A and B are shown apart, each in its own frame.
Chain A
Amino acid sequence: MSSYFAQEVPLSWYLLLSAALFSLGVVGFLIKRNLITVFMSIELMLNGVNLSFVTFAQQWHAVKGQIFVFFVMMVAAAEAAVGLAIIIAVFRARATLAVDRIDLMKL
């Protein structure tokens, strides 16, 4: 970096932030034990990927990258609606949100 008050930021920094957000989402998916927070970790991963889409759209001056993010947002909204409905149904059936105790399909 030439100066601290530089007017520009390398796009690789944005990509590194996106990779870090995605990895934190994966770690959250692995260590969280509440069904809702596991679901939130998935949203975090989606957001990390969206950031890299926007970054590459900026790099290539392509509008389609941003439109793809728009579609990802729509799918995430649909996914959140259905997923939270499933969580409510699971809670009604099992009276718990702990993923360790929702193990009917476990081998």
Chain B
Amino acid sequence: MHLILFLVFAGFCLGGAINLLIQSHPINSALSLIVVMVSLAVLYLLLGAEFLAAAQVIVYAGAIMVLFTFVVMLLNAGREARTMGSRAARSVGFPAVVAILAVIATVILHAQGLGVARLSDGITSTEELSTVLFTKLLLPFEVTSVLILIAILGAVALARHDDTDPQGSAERTDK
């Protein structure tokens, strides 16, 4: 059962990732990235990470990808020109990717002591996770909230119109 679930959703993952690369329209790429993220949530659940599976669906497949599709539709991004990368990408980038993948795969396949994942291993409960998060790692957690606040302010400052548009100020005076 575990093997079948793994193979199905790993297939969805890889298929979605490859589809992201071969689609030329950004909205199709965004939808295939959602497929990748939802299948990753199932894989997290298979590995016993229930909180992360929920967070993956809510934060990644929900919030972040909605933001992406929103921007794609807002900017009316059209079909992109199909290229096979720049000269630097072809001469350095692709060999480097193949080399990195080969090295990682070799290391993983020769690694000793890597265990197996079973469905009967049990899951890491949210309680267990939050106990560590809110006791030992409280400071990083609080710093993250500052980071999110700065990101909100930065996003507002960047996306705002610099020039004061007459329509906006007219609406404001109407109030």
Contact = CB atoms under 8 A, between A and B. Distances in A.
A9 B117 contact: yes
Nearest to A44: B17
Given A55-B47, A75-B147, A88 B108 contact: no
A1 B86 CA distance: 42
Given A16-B105, A34-B77, A77 B3 contact: no
Interface string B14-57: 10011011000010011001001100100110111101100110
24 contacts: A9-B2, A15-B104, A17-B13, A19-B104, A27-B97, A28-B20, A30-B85, A31-B83, A31-B89, A33-B81, A33-B82, A40-B20, A54-B47, A58-B49, A58-B117, A69-B49, A70-B133, A74-B148, A75-B144, A78-B148, A81-B151, A82-B158, A87-B75, A88-B74
Interface in A37-76: 37, 39-41, 43-44, 47, 50-51, 54-55, 57-59, 63-64, 66-67, 69-71, 73-76
A76 B84 CA distance: 27
Contact of A17 (B10, B26, B74, B82): B10
Contacts of A32: 21, 29, 80
A90 B116 CA distance: 47
Contacts of A78: 147-148, 150-151
A36 B71 contact: yes
Contact of A63 (B83, B128, B147): B128
Contacts of B108: 12, 15-16, 19
A104 B96 CA distance: 27
B124 A40 contact: no
A88 B60 contact: no
A24 B44 CA distance: 20
Interface string A1-26: 10011111111111111011101111
Contact of B67 (A20, A54, A84): A84
Contacts of B33: 40, 43-44
Contacts of B49: 54, 57-58, 66, 69
Given A19-B104, A33-B80, A44-B33, A67 B47 contact: no
A25 B17 contact: yes
A57 B3 CA distance: 19
Contacts of A6: 2-3
A50 B2 contact: no
Given A14-B43, A34-B77, A97-B77, 19 more contacts: A11-B114, A11-B116, A13-B10, A14-B6, A17-B13, A19-B101, A26-B97, A28-B20, A30-B97, A36-B77, A40-B33, A44-B33, A47-B60, A77-B59, A81-B151, A81-B154, A84-B68, A88-B71, A97-B80
